[in-house]
Structure 1
Amino acid sequence: MMHPGQSTLAGRPTPPLQRFLIAVLPVVAVSVAGSLVTTPNIPTWYAGLAKPGFTPPNWLFGPVWTALYIMMAYAVWRILSLPKERPGRTAAVTAFFVQLALNCLWSFAFFGAHSPAAGLVVIAALIVAILATIRAFWPLDRIAAWLLVPYLAWVTYATALNAAIWHLNG
């Protein structure tokens, strides 16, 4: 089995610095953008919403998302380590960036637009996109695919939370 960073006759992986930048910078940008739209709304709009009993404390979201974003960046870094010509690599990278865009869009829909309903639409699409990404990663690098499973679990939980907030405040 090939290890990340190895070359084959089929081609070479993305160079290390470029691979790092492609894997890390977009994930950091999504994290920062999401935080910028979310943070000001937590003590104001979000605090005033009725929430279900399974709502975690606000302090938990930062550490959880930090860990998930690190795993996401490492997962796509592993995929970018494969030869560029590897069948399925381009589709896997594309799937990753589609789900990353939806991840960012959720913060703007839910917190920015103050719309649990819009958030629910986006997060449902996000679950589909994460599943597609895991499926695309699986034949290429099972570790990369498994790194996204905690993310899928958290987003599934967040979907239930989003749906309950929509129901309680609709």
Structure 2
Amino acid sequence: MHSIASPGQLRASFWRWTLVIVPLVILLGFISRRASVSGPDNPWFAALVKPSVYPAPLVFPIVWSLLYVMMGLAAAMVGAARGARGRGLALVFFGVQLVLNLAWSPVFFGAHKMHAGLVVISLLDLAVIVTIAAFWRVRRPAALLLVPYLAWILFATYLNYAFLQANPGQDGAQGSGAVQRIEI
């Protein structure tokens, strides 16, 4: 029986996918975060009552950086599985969950819509579960790389809910709209 590709060719394919997907996922995550001024740099967010389980702000960029690398590696494993049954659909599911992931920060932090953010992140939870199932059928190690991501976003879902409960009047709240004019 002849194989489609040698082990060396398979490794090269994985590294090509990795060199494209991992930086792309990290870059998109960075752009989403910067576009929504998330975290302690956001005056609206800084004024919110924080849930007791809210981690130190430094935790978020570290955890998200690691998770984005793991997500990219998982997608690269599946992408490099040329000819694998379900590969294309698994990558579509990955794309859907990534779009939901990138949409959450602008909705929650940018638009100050905690309820809409809860809807987006709940859809993300479901999309990641579906993606893990699809990846499992193609490459099990790729699916396992997404499990910490699922755990983190489930925690983030709880945090979103807890913020909404602790700050009901701030859902959709805008700034004062005041403009300060300084004449020189």
**Do both share a fold (TM > 0.5)?**
yes
**Separation in structure 2 between the aligned mates of residue 56 and residue 126 of structure 1, nearest angstrom:** 21
Q: What per-residue deviation string (whole Å, max 9, x for no partner) do you get for residues 86-128 of structure 1?
A: 2100000001111001000001110110111111010000000
Q: How does 1:31-70 map to 2 (within 5 A)?
A: 31-39=29-37, 42-43=40-41, 44-70=43-69
| Identity across the alignment (%) | 39
Alignment correspondent of 1:24? 22
Cα distance, 1:17 vs. partner?
A: 6.5
Structure 1 residue 37, shift from structure 2 partner: 2.9
Instruction: Please give the alpha-carbon distance, in whole angstroms, between the structure 1 residues aligned to 2:108 and 2:87.
Output: 32
Distance 1:41 1:152, change over 3 A: closer
**AA at the equivalent of 1:49:** L
**1:50 touches 1:168 (CA, 8 Å); kept in 2?**
yes
After TM superposition, give the deviation of residue 22 of structure 1 in Å: 4.3
1:137 and 2:132 aligned = no
Alpha carbons of structure 1 residues 115 and 149: separation in structure 2 relative to 1, 3 Å: same
Gaps spanning 5+ residues in structure 2: where? 169-184
Q: Spell out the pairing of 1:41-120 with structure 2 (5 A cutoff).
A: 42-43=40-41, 44-83=43-82, 85-120=83-118
Q: Distance in 1 between matches of 2:5 and 2:110?
A: 44
Residue of structure 2 in register with 1:162 after alignment: 160
Asked if structure 1 preserves the Cα contact closer than 8 Å seen for 2:93 and 2:127, the reply is: yes
Q: C-alpha displacement at 1:18, in angstroms?
A: 4.9
Q: Is the 8 A contact 1:71 1:147 kept in 2?
A: yes
Deviation at 1:142, TM superposition (A): 0.8
Cα distance, 1:51–1:128 mapped onto 2, change above 3 Å = same
Q: Describe the shift of the 1:90–1:22 C-alpha distance in structure 2 as closer, same or farther (beyond 3 A).
A: farther
Q: Give the TM-score normalised by structure 1.
A: 0.86
Residue 26 of structure 1 and its aligned partner are, at CA, apart by 3.1
Q: Is the 8 A contact 1:14 1:82 kept in 2?
A: no
Q: Report the Cα distance in structure 2 between the residues aligned to 1:23 and 1:156, rounded to whole angstroms.
A: 24
Aligned residues between the structures: 161
Partners of 2:48 and 2:167 within 8 A in 1? yes
Tell whether the 8 Å contact from 1:14 to 1:80 is kept in structure 2 after alignment: no
In the alignment, residue 155 of structure 2 is paired with which amino acid? Y
Q: Which runs of 4+ in 1 moved over 6 A?
A: none
Q: Give the partner amino acid of 2:107.
A: A
Shift of 1:167: 1.1
